[in-house]
């Protein structure tokens, strides 16, 4: 099966790319999302949960600045220059992953006091919730498109078939 560049990135250099490009940003973003639900439900705008929410928001936002810059320079631009996109499925997977970082950056800017400075605490809470929701939509679109086979829309990649070294029936996956 062919892979999108998104999935190939996560599968390459195991486990480091998976940790750097998926685990760290998702754990931080989910921390923001979970603490956001608590804050919205309780309306407790102060305390350790809000502090954790702000800390995770700032870290994940700054982290996404690095991820987006790195991937634009080292993946998007070279793939585009070489004309190596694996159909629109591949473009959607990569672009929605990168776009998904923007709401996290906006959360960091807000939590650092650089965005929505004049807004009330209630309004800031609303912006925060919207940014979390937008992130979740784009992150899930990226995962769904990233797991799709680009061959569904005609991509003809390297047709490599991995065969086990010992192809005896004991090692085979053939159905009976």
Mean pLDDT of 61-79: 97
List all residues 6 or more positions away from 24 whose beta carbon is below 8 Å from its beta carbon.
63
Rounded CA separation 7/11 (Å): 6
* Count of domains for the chain: 1
Query: 13-41 pLDDT, tens per residue?
Result: 999 999 999 999 999 999 999 999 999 99
**How does residue 1 score in pLDDT terms, banded at 50, 70 and 90?**
confident
pLDDT over threshold 80, residue 109: yes
In a domain, 111, yes or no: yes
Query: 44-67 pLDDT, tens per residue?
Result: 999 999 999 999 999 999 999 999
Mean pLDDT of 149-170: 65
In a domain, 108, yes or no: yes
Rounded CA separation 167/173 (Å): 9
In a domain, 28, yes or no: yes
The pTM is what? 0.85
Contact status, residue 98 vs residue 71, Cβ threshold 8 Å: yes
In a domain, 91, yes or no: yes
Query: 155-165 pLDDT, tens per residue?
Result: 887 655 454 55
In a domain, 78, yes or no: yes
Domain containing 125 equals: 5-149
In a domain, 155, yes or no: no
pLDDT over threshold 60, residue 175: no
Residue 156's pLDDT is 86
Q: Is the dihedral of CA 122, 35, 58, 67 positive or negative?
A: negative
Residue 154's pLDDT is 87
In a domain, 141, yes or no: yes
The average confidence (pLDDT) of the chain is: 90
In a domain, 164, yes or no: no
Residue 29's pLDDT is 95
End-to-end CA distance of the chain: 22
């Amino acid at each position: 099966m062919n892979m999108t560049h998104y999935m190939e990135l996560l599968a390459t250099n195991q486990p480091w790319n998976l940790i750097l490009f998926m685990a760290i940003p998702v754990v931080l973003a989910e921390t923001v999302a979970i603490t956001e639900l608590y804050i919205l439900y309780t309306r407790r705008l102060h305390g350790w949960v809000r502090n954790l929410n702000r800390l995770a928001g700032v870290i994940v936002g700054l982290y996404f600045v690095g991820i987006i810059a790195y991937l634009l320079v080292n993946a998007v631009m070279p793939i585009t220059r070489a004309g190596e996109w694996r159909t629109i499925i591949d473009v959607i997977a990569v672009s929605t992953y990168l776009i998904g970082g923007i709401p996290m950056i906006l959360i960091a800017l807000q939590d650092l006091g650089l965005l929505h400075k004049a807004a009330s605490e209630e309004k800031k809470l609303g912006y925060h919730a919207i940014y979390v929701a937008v992130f979740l939509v784009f992150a899930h679109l990226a995962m769904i498109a990233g797991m799709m086979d680009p061959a569904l829309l005609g991509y003809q990649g390297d047709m490599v078939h991995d065969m086990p070294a010992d192809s005896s029936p004991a090692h085979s996956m053939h159905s009976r």
